[in-house]
A = this chain, B = another copy of it.
Amino acid sequence: MGGRESCDMRGMLSFQILWLLSKGKMHGEMIAEEIEKRRGEKPKPGTLYPALKELSNKGLINGSRRGKIIVYSITSDGRAAVKVATNYFCRSFGDIFEENERK
């Protein structure tokens, strides 16, 4: 099911979170669900929230509590970072996708 049995392929979590937040504000649970749509599995709370905290500590996102939930938005530093990171990502792995597109 996953795709990581043979090849661990860990990583990219913070990048993916930042990329998702560059598309719009979300709270933690929504982020988890968006990741689930893509990866097939929800990141566990103990994985997601520390990552959100790190991004927050770096000033790339910030959260504001609205009752039960905390809505995260990307900062301008975060926008700059996600742009650079996306370029790097596409340059590094673009051909893997191109091949997939052409089939």
Contact = CB atoms under 8 A, between A and B. Distances in A.
Interface of A is mostly: helix
Contacts of A15: 7, 9
Given A11-B10, A12-B9, A3 B100 contact: no
Contacts of A57: none
A58 interface: yes
A4 B85 CA distance: 6
Q: On chain A, which size bracket covers the interface?
A: 35 or more
A4 B88 CA distance: 8
Residue in A7, A19, A84, A86 with the greatest tally of chain B CB atoms within 10 Å: A7
Interface of A: 2-12, 14-16, 18-19, 38-40, 58, 60, 77, 80-82, 84-97, 100
